[in-house]
Amino acid sequence: MPRPKSDFDQLYPCDFYEPDELLDDDRMYTVYEIARLLQGVEADAELDRETEDILLDWAIPWVVFNAEDLVVAEPESDEEPGYYGLKTDGER
């Protein structure tokens, strides 16, 4: 159910990192690692499953929105996530 803005103590701008601000151009990241980075957490930080699920709610739309600036690599197995990286000039 929608809530009135007045219910909230503070409202923030909905600004997200640009891919080149978030990702190193020589690295590939899982969506879980991207989720952590978007929240200012180290990519390899240990998080409980519930927190990680919440962070994914932010990361998946970010990946979709920025898809034209990213490259994708297959996972190492069917049980692992794929990898995303910053598209470099040679890959455009």
pLDDT digits 0-9 by tens, 9-68:
999 888 889 999 999 999 999 999 999 999 999 999 999 999 999 999 989 999 999 999
Domain span at residue 68 reads 27-91
Residue 92: what pLDDT?
A: 63
- Is 3 within a domain? no
- Is 37 within a domain? yes
pLDDT at 91 > cutoff 80: no
Q: How many domains does the structure of the chain reveal?
A: 1
- Is 70 within a domain? yes
Residue 79: what pLDDT?
A: 92
Give the angle subtended at the CA of 85 by the CAs of 80 and 91, to the nearest 5°. 125
- Is 83 within a domain? yes
- Is 7 within a domain? no
- Is 10 within a domain? no
Stronger pLDDT, 65 or 88, i.e. the higher one: 65
Closest by Cα among 25, 16, 22 to 87: 25
Q: Which residues, in sequence order, are CB contacts of 44 under 8 Å at separation 6+?
A: 33
- Is 9 within a domain? no
pTM: 0.83
- Is 19 within a domain? no
Residue 89: what pLDDT?
A: 79
